[in-house]
Structure 1
């Protein structure tokens, strides 16, 4: 385990994301839902995270956690009428707790990190 504090991670997230000082950030805070880190912003955020904390990408895959930007009109209609299509957009969230654990471990391990979602 590496010696990184929660406060260091929180300060980095606030700087990288521009989160207001009064916004509560917890281990359950989700990048997508709570901090609006999506699409191309998510690509940049995660790459900066891996670089800033010297984390091995391990089995991390953008597509596992985030949906790429851009919609076609046909796809939008399919989302409205197809339960299967909507389900294809479901992704496990990336939480600050997952980022913190990856920073401590020095490696992204999907199984280990996603187990934090359901303790």
Structure 2
């Protein structure tokens, strides 16, 4: 993909996630999920979104639905109980149970291009793309 805005988003994301202790850098594509593929969650997710909106002049950070995509910080005993079956599923199938909606880099790229976050429009567009 030869798109300067995409390249800026990719570079920003690499800068924010840092280098992994083991293994290679994750491949970043528009379909890379910030929460599930990159493991950004809790306070780190809030900081990531705020920095991204600030750096790329995206309006409406105050209306960004953090809880829609990310879990909170700390230990939630109910979430811990739900995690037990998810752990068994991960061990059995190698796939994570998704408890929140996915937030892809492509969705953030759309917001950067529009200079605003619009949950409904962005999710609708990406839901149609995932069916193609």
The reply to whether TM is greater than 0.5 is yes
Query: Cα distance, 1:118 vs. partner?
Result: 3.5
Q: Say if 1:15 and 1:80 are closer, same or farther in 2 by CA, change over 3 A.
A: closer
Query: Cα distance, 1:74 vs. partner?
Result: 5.6
CA RMSD of aligned residues (A): 2.7
Find runs of 4+ consecutive structure 1 residues off by over 6 angstroms.
Answer: none
Query: Cα distance, 1:80 vs. partner?
Result: 6.2
Aligned mates of 2:79, 2:68 — CA distance in 1:
19
**What is the aligned length?**
110
Aligned mates of 1:80, 1:6 — CA distance in 2:
34
Q: Unmatched 5+ residue regions in structure 2?
A: 85-97
Partner of 1:61: 65
Greater length-normalized contact order (CA 8 Å, ≥ 6 residues apart): 1
Partner of 1:84: none
For normalisation by structure 1, the TM-score amounts to 0.77
